[in-house]
Structure 1
Amino acid sequence: MGWVSAGEGYEVALMEGRVAARATAGRSAGRRLKSLPKALRDHPEVERLRRFGEWLDRHAAACVAQVDAWMVSSLPVPTGLLGRVWADEAWRSSLHDLAVVGDDPDEVGFLRDANESGELRVVDLDGETVRLSPRTVLLPHPVLLPDLDDLREFAAELGVTQRVEQIYRATWDKPADDELDAKATTVGEFSGGRFASRFGLAARATSLGYRVSGGYATCRVRDGGAAVEASVWIGEPYWDGETETGGLSWHDPDGRTLRLREVGPVAWSEGMRMASTLHAGRTVEEGGAS
């Protein structure tokens, strides 16, 4: 973004998310100042740039959230749409280097470019840059990617960095059905994590992007085309004393509790990820875990 006049002797610009100033006269003319002069702090142009910077931050966060939702739900995304938003830096940084799958489910590539005609440029697992033109692509959840460990190793060699956690996202593989009790509906692996207050636990949940509803922290995903909500008990809504994390369970859109054998691989992994990250913030007593 270019420099704009802000009163006599100064220009301002938005740089790296902050308002910067430079002098237009004197010995410092053209040089960026280390801090914003007091005379400019309430200038209308400075305030306009601050508001614009705040909007850009919200826009970038919204792009990340949308791409994360596509990935977690493994929803097909029109390639033409990717091409239309690619010119926007916030969208591009959210999508760049994500693993995508086109018409062939066995061919995975890391997204490097997209144009409005629907053509994508990806780096395949042979390290070759190829062009694809499928009507839609998937941004698969990592538990659905074949040979994930090998893919992570290749991504590290390639220097892949992702704004949206995908390849390096913490995942949990669902046990085989014969390893699960046929009637079980709850996982207790991350229950019993003690917190000084229910308010603190709820705040942790919302800061991690989870929804708090009633006495539960929840996350909703689409798994195999069906909506599923995972939930972890965090305590009575208006209680602000000590509390503990409870069991993890899953529900369908009608509120029916699913048996563990009915839970799909993505819903299982995302539910376990939520329960684990909540539990990780527990109070730990010296000399042991709580």
Structure 2
Amino acid sequence: MVSTVQEDAWVDAEREYKLGLRAGKLVCQNPKGKSLASVPKWLKETETAESLLALADWLAEHELDCLHTVERWMLRSLPIPRAVVTEIWADSAWRDCIENMVVVPVAAGGTFDLENAGLLKDVDAKRGLGVIDLDGETQWIKTDSFAVPHPILIGDLEELRELAGDLGIRQAIDQLYRPIHQPTREQLDLTSINDFSGGHFEQLNFATSHCRRLGYPVRGGYATCRIWENNALIEARYFIGDEYPESPTWTGGLVFVDESQQPQKINSIGPVTFSEGVRMASEIYAKRKVDATEEDQ
């Protein structure tokens, strides 16, 4: 599968010009082989240019799809067949998303072997998944399945962060440095978290726009985040308002409901679900209008 176009790859175009793609943008060379600062208007309108731009759009969508898929693997913490990553590794769009992620072996019964977590660096059909362990050594995951665990499940998270920092490793998906949240003892018996209530937005429009940019759908006045954990689908809902779009609004509580729309006590939901729900609420709340009295506190 083609996933990128190399910067030095050119295709013949009209009038002996050449066209290519660089970082998703159309670039060209004149007949003398000189790269031009911009593509002439007439050349942009040719069939060759339109075909390349269509390819660029497809590549961008493909890269986003890869990114969202790997993030779902992490949020759902479900076993992934090793054969899947063996097949997709050659595609640089997939590889850029999964490489450097923390992965763990999954036993036949579905148990995560968190003690053998490592940073994914290589994939080989015969040897398995090559990871860098906490000792900085390369190990091979040979189990039929692996998982991309949510950071709240990783016991050696701080050590893996240090290792990644020492190696200069960066992740395409926020895993190692993703904010994680755990309930306090007082919150365990509650069905609503009010730590992020009272956030003021001058218009409901502003709040919903922030939600869209952060990737959280809004339904019935609530920003939502669905998490599949422990064989159950739970939806975190954070109230942002349900008045007219131009009216001022104040945020409310964060609740967790099951598929029957029943609110759940905090002590009955999984750690990933709670962490992601609070992450959503805190990110939206951070975009509120802060007045002078709040800034002085």
Shift of 1:116: 4.2
**Residue 109 of structure 2: aligned partner:** none
Q: Secondary structure at the match of 2:294?
A: coil
Q: 1:94 — aligned with what?
A: 97
The root-mean-square deviation of aligned C-alpha atoms, in Å, is 1.7
Aligned to 1:230: 236
**Aligned equivalents of 1:187, 1:146: Cα separation in 2:** 26
Identify the match of residue 55 of structure 2 among 52, 55, 63. Answer: 52
Equivalent pair of 2:114/2:154 in contact (CA under 8 Å):
no
Matching of residue 131 in structure 1 with residue 140 in structure 2: yes
Secondary structure in structure 1 of the residue aligned to 2:160: helix
Q: Number of paired residues?
A: 283
Compute the displacement of 1:285 (Å). Answer: 2.1
Match of 1:107 in 2: 116
CA distance in 2, matches of 1:53, 1:235: 39
**3-state secondary structure, aligned to 2:122:** strand
Distance in 1 of aligned mates of 2:260 and 2:135: 45
1:172 aligns with 2:181: yes
Show the counterpart of 1:15: 22
CA deviation vs aligned residue, 1:3-41 (integer Å, no higher than 9, x gap): 1122103110111111100012xxxx1221111123212
Q: Are residues 82 and 8 of structure 1, via their aligned partners in 2, closer, same or farther at CA, if it must alter by over 3 Å?
A: same
Q: In the alignment, is the contact (CA less than 8 A) between 2:196 and 2:282 conserved in 1?
A: yes
Equivalent position of 2:13 in the other structure: 6
Q: Which runs of 5+ in 2 are unaligned?
A: 107-112
Query: Counterparts of 1:214-253 in structure 2 under 5 Å?
Result: 214-236=220-242, 238-253=244-259
Q: CA deviation at 1:263?
A: 2.1
Q: Identity of paired residues, percent?
A: 37
- CA–CA distance in 1 between the matches of 2:138 and 2:130? 7
| Uncovered stretches (5+) of structure 1, i.e. residues with no partner | none
Shift in CA distance, 40/155, structure 1 to aligned 2, threshold 3 Å: same
Aligned residue type for 1:262: S
TM-aligned CA deviation for residue 127 of structure 1 = 0.3
Would the aligned equivalents of 2:183 and 2:266 in 1 still touch at CA under 8 Å?
no
Which 4+ runs in 1 deviate beyond 6 A?
none
AA matched with 1:107: N
Q: CA deviation at 1:149?
A: 2.0
For 2:251 and 2:44, locate their aligned partners in 1 and report how far apart those are by CA, in whole Å. 46
User: 1-side partners of 2:247 and 2:87: how far apart?
Assistant: 50
Whole-angstrom distance in 1 between the partners of 2:261 and 2:126: 42
Cα distance in 1, alignment partners of residues 256 and 127 from structure 2: 37
Partner of 1:41: 44
With 142-151 and 109-118 compared, the bigger mean Cα shift is at 109-118
CA-to-aligned-CA distance 1:62-120 (integer Å, 9 cap, x gap): 11111101101111111100110111111101101000010433111100122345711
2:82 to 79, 84, 109: 79
Query: CA separation in 2, counterparts of 1:130 and 1:118?
Result: 10
